[in-house]
Amino acid sequence: MDIEKLKYPIGKFSHSGEISEQDLQRWIDEIEALPGLLRKAIKNLIPSQLDTPYRPDGWTLRQVVHHISDSHLNGMIRFKWALTEETPTIKPYFEERWAELPDYKFLQVELSLDFLELLHKRWVTLLRALNRNDFSREFIHPESGRTDLASYLGLYAWHGKHHLTHITNLLESKGWV
């Protein structure tokens, strides 16, 4: 299989046109559903399966699960900065370096699944309480520039599906489902 298809099994995030209320609600629903879908996908995996990379030179399933929880924590914090400060400049992080830390390599995935579930409950509560104007607030990413919260919400809904698909595609290709 093409390495680009393995890296981006659902394609890269894109949205054309104006972001509608229906888009926002669908993305919030997807963020809300992610922890359960992720837990269901990996519930019967043994450690050796969790330590299998989803593609050549890619992260293991264990690293992917830990990455999702850390990334989504950063995502929620960025939301809060944009909601409470005037166009803050956020701090990026080296996610590939984080994935090499011992917690990503050895920690039980259940801890990150539990964390993600609680994090998403908090995040979804916040998201459902926001009004349309709140989603127009922005932050500045030092590399990618200005980003409004509506687009960022779409990116994080995509991010969850993107990594969930990494996992489910590997499970299907290995016959682990």
| Digit-coded pLDDT (tens) for 38-87 | 999 999 999 999 999 999 999 999 999 999 999 999 999 999 999 999 99
Q: How many CB atoms lie within 10 A of CB 91?
A: 11
Q: What is the mean pLDDT of the chain?
A: 96
With beta carbons less than 8 A apart as the criterion, state whether 34 and 75 touch. no
pLDDT of residue 28: 98
Domain of residue 99, residue span: 20-174
CATH number of the structural domain spanning residue 86: 1.20.120.450
SS3 53: strand
Q: Is residue 11 part of a domain?
A: no
Q: Is residue 5 part of a domain?
A: no
Query: How many domains is the chain built from?
Result: 1
Structure tokens at 143: 């590399």
User: Which residues, other chains included, contact 108 with Cβ-Cβ below 8 Å and sequence gap of 6+?
Assistant: none
Task: Write the CA distances from 81 to 74, 134, 140, 146, integer angstroms.
Answer: 10, 12, 11, 13
pTM of the model: 0.96
Q: Is residue 41 part of a domain?
A: yes
Q: Is residue 110 part of a domain?
A: yes
For a pLDDT cut of 70, what percent of the chain falls above it?
99
Longest dimension (CA), the chain: 50
Q: Is residue 64 part of a domain?
A: yes
Model confidence at 177, pLDDT cuts 50, 70, 90, reads: confident
How many Å apart are CA 177 and CA 164, to the nearest integer? 14
Task: Write the CA distances from 72 to 79, 156, 170, integer angstroms.
Answer: 10, 7, 22
Is residue 1 predicted with pLDDT exceeding 70? no
